[in-house]
Chains A and B, each alone.
Chain A
Amino acid sequence: QSVLTQPPSVSAAPGQKVTISCSGSSSNIGKNYVSWYHQLPGTAPKLLIYDNDKRPSGIPDRFSGSKSGTSATLGITGLQTGDEADYYCGTWDSSLSVVLFGGGTKLTVL
């Protein structure tokens, strides 16, 4: 059971929008930046969002991030079948001095 809580799965139709939540506590999300990764089957994770809401070079603006208090949210608009993947949030826990990942959310584009 992860310290950062994500829904196990979300789904939406192509072209629609979906959000994935990541809930933590005051010692992790409440104090530190959140990043988001996606992982296509059989491949390594890839950075999507950093510092809560910034996109690395090459990541389309269909992907967005936000943070409020002890929760963070990843948004994906204009869903494509290629977006089907597992999505993970990550941050640092200042009390435990460990890197945390959420349990992961499987996105299905119906």
Chain B
Amino acid sequence: EVQLLESGGGLVQPGGSLRLSCAASGFTFSDYTMSWVRQAPGKGLEWVSAIGGSGGTTYYTDSVKGRFTMSRDNSKNTLYLQMNSLRAEDTAVYYCARGWIQLWLFDYWGQGTLVTVSS
């Protein structure tokens, strides 16, 4: 059974940093592109970043470029999102999602982890 379990969310002050993790199981992790998708309270879905199976290729939405870094450790079946220079507008539930067939098609999602940026 495919499972994605996010962790690392919490309360952080503006300008602070946080690292999210997503532990994957039930599939060959290195075979799949992975993404982070966030959802601000009461708002819609916003794609944040994606990474290829080998970790060699990454994509980011403009609003996080230069601040967020996505990486993966295929030996640990774990996905990461290092978030620096956090802003209030980064407050959201962050989901990791598995890419299927195309980078932008997500067949499995984690349960999400809440990041709150506030003083």
Listed in ascending order, the chain A residues whose CB lies under 8 Å from chain B are 2, 32-33, 35, 37, 39, 43-47, 50-51, 56, 86, 88, 90-92, 97-104
Chain A residues with Cβ under 8 A from B35's Cβ? 99
Listed in ascending order, the chain B residues whose CB lies under 8 Å from chain A are 35, 37, 44-47, 50, 59, 61-62, 95, 100-107, 109-112
Chain B residues with Cβ under 8 A from A97's Cβ? 59
Among B45, B102, B103, point to the contact of A101 (Cβ < 8 A): B45
- Determine the distance from Cα of A106 to Cα of B102 in the docked complex, in whole angstroms: 26
- Determine the distance from Cα of A47 to Cα of B104 in the docked complex, in whole angstroms: 12
- Determine the distance from Cα of A82 to Cα of B106 in the docked complex, in whole angstroms: 22
Summed over the interface, the residue pairs from A and B with CB atoms below 8 Å come to a total of 68
Give the dominant DSSP class at A's interface: strand
A2-B44, A98-B61 known; A44-B102 Cβ under 8 A: no
Sample of 6 further A-B pairs with CB below 8 A, known A44-B109, A45-B45, A51-B105: A45-B37, A51-B101, A88-B44, A90-B104, A99-B47, A99-B103
Closest to A44 in B: B109
Q: Decide if B95 touches A45 in the complex (CB within 8 Å).
A: yes
- 24 A-B Cβ contacts within 8 A? A37-B45, A37-B106, A39-B45, A43-B111, A44-B95, A44-B110, A45-B37, A45-B109, A46-B109, A47-B105, A50-B107, A51-B105, A88-B45, A90-B105, A92-B103, A98-B47, A98-B59, A98-B62, A99-B37, A99-B59, A100-B47, A101-B45, A101-B46, A104-B44
